[in-house]
């Protein structure tokens, strides 16, 4: 304790000299440490008063509360009143970034305030403590330089009061900061942060920008052309490139990648102003593309915890050509409906329906969701795979309390358990929708407790009492573009680890097992095709061979001329006569299966579809071979196609049908069809034009009893079919 005024004066002079030296050290140290990071960046001039107030209110809600014995500064519970609540996105982003920065350095800033004797020497109300913290961080970040104030900016009394206080303690604050750096042997307060937080900030500053193309407004080719006109050029990778470049993402064909420093330039282009390009984290694009891969044309989608409305819009754009409807649940305030509809209208989205119930409260048998086949579940998570937490919270409408976890570099075990339990409840509820056939589960977390553990637990304890097929884990439906991705997906989960090019992401696809009773047979496929008019002109055969022998299906075709019809009948009769003489034992069977009943053109290949592993056998082939060798070539019917014994003779009309593994034999004009093995008829048939010219003229090994093909007259192979 100082006993005299002279001693007190001498002590104050020495303290002032020491403080000045520490202050100069603090300023020089901060300049040296930030010289590399601030190169080319504009000098910071401070924020508007309203930003400080909003940042103080955000900080008040997310600050780290300490035990009573460790409390250095008391914070009030009342938020500061702002003159106007701005809803501008850039305003909110500045406020949240300032609050998050103050939160990361809360311990250091509180120590500086105590060491500089601002506390407890001044009588400042407790409700202004949060404002002092956020303004002190900005003050030291500006190297204790004065703030630039705009003439038309509206001032706030509390902000002006705190600013005057900090300026009056400028030297002492700088000295306290220098002593803190020396204590931690750090070049700047940035190096005092935990290593995980520093790495996160480094990734956030260099992470590329991802933007998806609104194909309802513009095509990818038009986007490329527009960017090239603005000086951008396409590259394979945007890493470590400071030029105006862009690249196309390997997983999502409609996603472009830009270097991080081009964001302000891109936001001023018409592509972003007109909602033709939309910035969004890649993990959300991976989720909607996974859903798109599982959809049929008329399947509906249920989206849960979508967060950003851009995710809903992207899903709508991808299904624009379908008749699908997208249901979005969790919009509790109906007052937001007009704003949301306005955004969706500007983006060209038309198939979105908003549900105001929370997902857990929606019944699985809700009549509105009977056509929902795929559920996209984006549960609230820790988000520890994201490099920019402020962007994540604002874009996904997450709770600002997550910033506390980000500032510490991790999530507490208790909070992680609560999140995992919520995720499990939502996933199991999604699996109760009996009409749904798939669930896509996606998070931005790197914790297995929120990812693999939740999915495996839900699959293990899914309700088997429901009369539906259980879910199973399916492989990723996204392309795997590297060996690392293949290795990470060996257990059927799709993972993206946080890196310098992307945020972390986890994605799982659950699909129902196929019901054996609903296995679709070849007959069912053909029946459906016939019902849709795809088999017009083709008559399906009976399933039973016994019925096929007893009955013949009849089909009407345009009638041919009388002369052509009579000529065909004569030629068929001559051929059958020769076959009867050659093989008396099989003549009756041949006559029953070959003679037409009416004067129609029912000659051609069979409409009976056969499986490729069971080729039809033709017992008439040997007899046919023997008789053709002794017959005169000019008497041979050139346009007759020998039918198989179990087939009906119908004429195929021009129709395109591709039904793997179904096989439709086509009509051949060469008259020796029975010589060819059935397995040669694997082809895509598109009407009568698909006749292979060299089908029979191709040299091959002669079969037993078959005359070499080069001895046949050319007219035998090239003569047209008169009945078609």
Residue in this structure with the two tokens 């069809």, named with its chain if needed: 673
Q: Which helix (H) or strand (E) holds 139?
A: helix 129-141
Could you tell me which of 577, 554, 568, 724 has the C-alpha nearest to residue 637?
568
How many angstroms separate the CA atoms of 283 and 396, rounded?
12
Phi-psi region of 199 (alpha: psi -120 to 50; beta: other; left: phi over 0): alpha
Residue 510: beta bridge partners?
Answer: 439, 473
Two tokens, residue 672: 């020796």
How many angstroms separate the CA atoms of 625 and 650, rounded?
24
How many angstroms separate the CA atoms of 101 and 632, rounded?
99
CB 190 within 8 A of CB 184: no
- For this structure, is 444 an active site residue? yes
CB atoms < 10 A from the CB of 590, how many? 21
CA angle 87, 93, 99 (to 5 degrees): 115
Q: Which helix (H) or strand (E) holds 282?
A: helix 282-293
How many angstroms separate the CA atoms of 283 and 269, rounded?
24
- DSSP helix/strand/coil, 99: helix
Helices (H) and strands (E) in the chain, counts: 26, 15
CA distances from 708 to 672, 697, 703 (A): 12, 10, 9
Two tokens, residue 309: 């409305």
Would the CA dihedral through 84, 90, 96, 98 be positive or negative? negative
Cβ neighbourhood burial of 453 (10 Å; 0-12, 13-18, 19+): middle
Catalytic residue of the set 180, 349, 381, 444: 444
Two tokens, residue 47: 């924020």
CB 529 within 8 A of CB 544: no
CA distances from 706 to 431, 622, 626, 684, 710 (A): 64, 9, 7, 29, 12
CB 625 within 8 A of CB 706: yes
CA 302 from centre of chain: 15
Cβ neighbourhood burial of 371 (10 Å; 0-12, 13-18, 19+): middle
Strands 277-279 and 300-304 turn out to be: unpaired
Q: Which letter does DSSP use for residue 384 in this model?
A: T
Q: Which letter does DSSP use for residue 710 in this model?
A: G
Residue in this structure with the two tokens 């000299």, named with its chain if needed: 17
Residue 300: beta bridge partners?
Answer: 372
Residue 440: beta bridge partners?
Answer: 376, 509
**HEC profile for 203-226?**
HHHHCCEEEEECCCCCCHHHHHHH
Cis peptide before 120 (omega within 30 of 0): yes
CB 170 within 8 A of CB 144: yes
Q: Return the C-alpha torsion angle 270, 275, 277, 279, nearest 10.
A: 110
Residue 234: beta bridge partners?
Answer: 246
Two tokens, residue 373: 């086949």
Q: Which helix (H) or strand (E) holds 256?
A: strand 255-258
DSSP for 522-570, please give it. Answer: HHHHHHHHHHTTTTTT--PPPS-HHHHHH-------PPPPHHHHHHHHH
CA distances from 107 to 63, 403, 547, 717 (A): 10, 16, 89, 94
Catalytic center residues: 444
């Amino acid at each position: 304790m100082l006993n005299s005024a002279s001693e007190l004066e001498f002590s104050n002079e020495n303290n002032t000299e020491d403080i000045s030296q520490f202050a100069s050290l603090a300023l020089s140290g901060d300049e040296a440490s930030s010289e590399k990071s601030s190169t080319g960046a504009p000098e910071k001039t401070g924020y508007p008063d309203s930003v400080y107030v909003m940042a103080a209110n955000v900080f008040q809600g997310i600050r780290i509360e300490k035990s009573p014995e460790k409390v250095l500064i008391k914070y009030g519970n009342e938020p500061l009143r702002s003159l106007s609540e701005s809803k501008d996105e850039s305003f909110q982003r500045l406020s949240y970034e300032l609050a998050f920065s103050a939160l990361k350095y809360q311990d250091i800033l509180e120590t500086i305030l105590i060491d500089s004797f601002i506390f407890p020497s001044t009588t400042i109300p407790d409700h202004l403590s949060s404002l002092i913290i956020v303004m002190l961080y900005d003050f030291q970040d500006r190297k204790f330089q004065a703030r630039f104030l705009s003439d038309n900016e509206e001032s706030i009394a509390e902000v002006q009061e705190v600013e005057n206080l900090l300026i009056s303690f400028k030297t002492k604050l700088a000295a306290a900061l220098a002593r803190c750096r020396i204590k931690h042997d750090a070049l700047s307060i940035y190096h005092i942060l935990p290593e995980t937080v520093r790495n996160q900030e480094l990734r956030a500053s260099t992470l590329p920008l991802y933007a998806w193309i609104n194909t309802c407004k513009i095509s990818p080719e038009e986007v490329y052309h527009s960017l090239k006109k603005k000086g951008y050029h396409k590259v394979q990778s945007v890493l470590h490139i400071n030029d105006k470049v862009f690249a196309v993402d390997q997983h999502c064909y409609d996603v472009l990648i830009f270097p991080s420093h081009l964001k302000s330039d891109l936001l001023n282009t018409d592509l972003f102003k007109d909602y033709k390009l939309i910035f969004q984290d890649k993990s959300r694009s991976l989720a909607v593309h996974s859903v798109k891969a599982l959809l049929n044309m008329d399947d509906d989608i249920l989206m849960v915890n979508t967060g950003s409305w851009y995710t809903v819009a992207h899903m709508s754009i991808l299904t624009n050509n379908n008749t699908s409807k997208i249901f979005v649940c969790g919009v509790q305030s109906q007052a937001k409906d007009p704003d949301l509809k306005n955004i969706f209208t500007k983006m060209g989205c038309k198939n979105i329906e908003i549900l105001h119930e929370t997902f857990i409260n929606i019944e699985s048998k809700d009549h509105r969701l009977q056509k929902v086949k795929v559920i996209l579940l984006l549960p609230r998570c820790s988000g520890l795979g994201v490099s920019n937490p402020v962007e994540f919270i604002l874009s996904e409408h997450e709770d600002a309390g997550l910033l506390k976890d980000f500032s510490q570099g991790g999530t507490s075990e208790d909070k992680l358990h609560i999140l995992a339990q919520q995720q499990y409840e939502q996933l199991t509820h999604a699996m109760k929708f009996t009409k749904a056939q798939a669930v896509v589960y996606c998070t931005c977390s790197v914790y297995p407790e929120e990812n693999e553990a939740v999915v495996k637990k839900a699959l293990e304890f899914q309700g088997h009492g429901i009369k539906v097929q259980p879910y199973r884990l399916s492989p990723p439906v996204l392309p795997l573009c590297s060996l690392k991705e293949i290795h990470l997906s060996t257990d059927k989960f799709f993972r993206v680890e946080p890196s310098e090019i992307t945020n972390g992401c986890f994605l799982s696809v659950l699909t129902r097992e196929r019901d054996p009773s609903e296995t679709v047979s070849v007959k069912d496929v053909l029946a459906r095709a016939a019902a849709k008019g795809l088999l017009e002109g083709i008559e399906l055969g009976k399933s039973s061979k016994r019925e096929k022998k007893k009955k013949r299906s009849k089909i009407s075709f345009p009638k041919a001329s009388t002369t052509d019809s009579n000529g065909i009948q004569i030629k068929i009769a001559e051929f059958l006569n020769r076959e009867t003489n050659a093989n008396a034992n099989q003549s009756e069977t041949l006559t029953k299966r070959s003679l037409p009943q009416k004067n129609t053109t029912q000659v051609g290949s069979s409409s009976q579809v056969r499986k490729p592993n069971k080729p039809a056998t033709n017992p008439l082939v040997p007899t046919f071979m023997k008789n053709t060798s002794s017959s005169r070539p000019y008497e041979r019917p050139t346009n007759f196609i020998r039918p198989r014994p179990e087939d009906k003779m119908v004429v195929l009309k021009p129709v395109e049908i591709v039904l793997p593994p179904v096989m439709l034999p086509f009509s051949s004009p060469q008259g020796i069809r029975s010589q060819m093995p059935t397995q040669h008829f694997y082809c895509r048939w598109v009407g009568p034009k698909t006749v292979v010219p060299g089908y029979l003229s191709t040299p091959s090994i002669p079969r037993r009893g078959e005359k070499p093909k080069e001895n046949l007259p050319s007219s035998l192979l090239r003569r047209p079919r008169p009945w078609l």
